[in-house]
Structure 1
Amino acid sequence: MFSSASILYLVLIGLGLSGFFLCTALCRSFISLSFLPNHEDERTSHRGTVSRAGGVAIHITFVVAALLGLWLSRIGIGSDYGVLVMLTGAIAVLGLIDDIAAISPGLKFLGQIILSIVLVMFVGPIETMPLPVLGDTDLGVVGYVVAVLWVAAFVNVFNFMDGLNGMAAGSALVALIVLCLVGAFGGNLPLFLTSLMMTMSLFAFFIINFPAGNIFMGDAGSLGIGFLIAGLALLAAQPSQSGTGVPVALVPMIFLPFILDVSITLIRRIATGQRFYQAHREHYYQRLNQAGWSHANVTRLFMVAAIFSAAAGWGVTQLPSPVEWMGVAALALVLVVAARIIRARAGHDDQVRQKSRPDKSEPQEAPANAE
């Protein structure tokens, strides 16, 4: 006989599968209707017009499935996880408005800050953080500021990196699966439930988006997914939520390839006097694509990097807290060195290809669509 807990987990898995099929149907419908068409601009790497309503499909199915799951499991829609789900829907709406009307970056960032503050007010701050020499340090009131900055910053990092088919979605799937497993084996039912529902919705989108780029997630998708993952990292790190707590550095380490790409690019643009907030095509992943790497290969590279970072991150977070930062620094150094080697190799291969091309006037195959 199945226990009541086992039956509940099976019901939640069935609910997640329902979300998968619903999201698939919505994505297919939006494609056929050419709903919310996306056009080329200074940031995109695609050609032609493609629906960018994938984020709408993702969040409709996620919010409905997650809230229903929280109700069925008696965790409650008014719980911290319920608040996170509803605020995820709210920031997705902000992204949808930007997709439709192209609001100013300042106004969009203000909305992100407000929603981040609201989230932290409900779910609480980052209580402790491993610091060099000091180890786990109680942040006190500063923990609220750090939490707000983390959520707002990560939302933008994820949004900036949503530029090639499947890259942001694929890396997010890696993180969500890790959180789902941690929740399942750690007895944290709301973490398992919430991660599972987004995993299933996002996977439905991923298999349509990758590699051909038949639909994009748009800002509605990237802002909402980034917000959810940042919020899950906050909740999972709180001992009061699960009894043990997930290491606070784990999720940032999974996305260290994204964080490094955005940080290095912004520093380079600021140092050269460019407006860092303007749309551009100077990210590492964009340079790889420009050097001849296909969208699929760049996406696979970043997904492998996310899996590697997740495994390394879990090992690093098991180190004594006073030296944990050394593991983070070592992983960052490995990723930076690997990026430089890959980038140099890509540039060399591109030069060889250009020299060996028999007739540069011949039309070349157009790249696959990408956001």
Structure 2
Amino acid sequence: MFGFLIFLPETGQLWPIMAGASIIVTVGILDDLMELSAKVKFAAQIMAAIVTVLGGVQIEFITLPFGDRVEFGYLAIPITLLWIVGVTNAINFIDGLDGLAAGVTSIALLTISGIAISMGNAAIGLAGMLLLGSTLGFLVYNFHPAKIFMGDTGSLFLGYMVSVLAVMGLFKNVTFFSLIVPIIILGVPILDTLSAIVRRIRHKQPVTSPDKLHLHHCLIRLGYSHRQTVILIYAVSSLFSIAAILFTRATMWGSVMLIVSLILLVELIVEITGIIGENYRPILNIIRKSRP
């Protein structure tokens, strides 16, 4: 955070972002020390997001094909709140193995920074690179077998900062379909979070109830080692990031093909890993039945 204050230009949004980050770090420290309830953590995340959004960090519009733009108006506030809280939790959810959250976040930050710089948003690119430097330095000691651990303090802070940087650097600058790019970049944590929600609803469990069926758990259950699982998720995250970069340069039909390919990839990941349920395999069942 101190790097942001030193190197980034003074804007009306900087101090609200710092205030939101301070709330996130405080609740993370308290959770690591005394295990706060899910409701308390969620309330603190909403509070941090509200401070940030009221400070001017908002998804005010998205761009659509053919240059059209959708203005959100008053809906910008709840939409941005949902994005910040959702991404914050998504990064927190994947912090289940040594080096996983730090590595996936590093890949996302590198992509966000590169795209922001290419779009002429040097300030956000610099902010992303500052945060990337800290995650890579941490990853050296956090990769399996870890010598230091992130805890909720680190994962919640990273999730919050990534969500804010995405709002400031991507939603307003990508010219074809600005909503898609940040979602693709954060494809792995978003997939894991949405799968957890669907899984718990299917099993009639509270959405906030913990389980051992996240993506990394499913890969280990398939026989991959700790290190192999982390590297495999890194590879998938990198693939999503490459797709996001291609998306910013693709034609309309190229973008459509990318989206279809990514949807198919996500579906196969869900079915192969069993992240929603072991019996959910529609495409794999069709392939199996089509074999002679």
TM-score interval for Structure 1 and Structure 2 normalised by the shorter chain: 0.7 to 0.9
Within-5 A mapping of 1:302-341: 302-318=233-249, 327-341=258-272
One-letter identity of the residue aligned with 2:79: V
Matched-pair contact (CA < 8 Å) for 1:124–1:144: no
Q: Which has the higher contact order (CA 8 A, sep 6+)?
A: 1
Correspondence 1:172 to 2:105:
yes
Matched-pair contact (CA < 8 Å) for 1:91–1:220: yes
Displacement after TM superposition at 1:198 (Å): 0.8
Of residues 137, 157, 163 in structure 1, which corresponds to 2:70?
A: 137
Aligned length: 276
Correspondence 1:299 to 2:230:
yes
One-letter identity of the residue aligned with 1:157: A
**Is the deviation greater in 223-232 or in 83-92?**
83-92
CA distance in 2, matches of 1:250, 1:84: 22
One-letter identity of the residue aligned with 1:170: G
CA distance in 2, matches of 1:343, 1:67: 44
SS at match of 1:68: helix
Correspondence 1:254 to 2:185:
yes
Correspondence 1:268 to 2:161:
no
Any idea what the Cα deviations from partners look like across 1:78-97, whole Å, max 9, x if unmatched? 54245324422331121111
Within-5 A mapping of 1:74-113: 75-76=9-10, 78-113=11-46
One-letter identity of the residue aligned with 1:214: K
SS at match of 2:70: strand
Residue 66 of structure 1 aligns with which residue? 4
Displacement after TM superposition at 1:69 (Å): 1.6
Displacement after TM superposition at 1:172 (Å): 0.6
Correspondence 1:231 to 2:164:
yes
Matched-pair contact (CA < 8 Å) for 1:161–1:168: yes
CA distance in 2, matches of 1:213, 1:243: 37
SS at match of 2:62: strand
Displacement after TM superposition at 1:323 (Å): 9.4
Residue 208 of structure 1 aligns with which residue? 141
Correspondence 1:222 to 2:222:
no
SS at match of 1:141: helix
Larger radius of gyration: 1
One-letter identity of the residue aligned with 1:298: T
CA distance in 2, matches of 1:331, 1:154: 19
CA distance in 1, matches of 2:59, 2:218: 35
Say if 1:97 and 1:183 are closer, same or farther in 2 by CA, change over 3 A. Answer: same
Displacement after TM superposition at 1:296 (Å): 1.4
Residue 282 of structure 1 aligns with which residue? 213
Name structure 2 gaps, 5 residues minimum.
279-292
Say if 1:116 and 1:130 are closer, same or farther in 2 by CA, change over 3 A. Answer: same
TM-score (norm 1): 0.67
One-letter identity of the residue aligned with 1:233: A
Displacement after TM superposition at 1:284 (Å): 2.2
Displacement after TM superposition at 1:322 (Å): 10
TM-score (norm 2): 0.83
Name structure 1 gaps, 5 residues minimum.
1-62, 348-371
CA distance in 1, matches of 2:64, 2:120: 28
Give the alignment's Cα RMSD to 1 decimal: 3.0
SS at match of 1:193: helix
Residue 49 of structure 1 aligns with which residue? none
Matched-pair contact (CA < 8 Å) for 2:106–2:132: yes
One-letter identity of the residue aligned with 1:67: L
Matched-pair contact (CA < 8 Å) for 1:85–1:228: no
Matched-pair contact (CA < 8 Å) for 1:164–1:295: yes
One-letter identity of the residue aligned with 2:197: L
Displacement after TM superposition at 1:211 (Å): 1.7
CA distance in 1, matches of 2:43, 2:252: 34
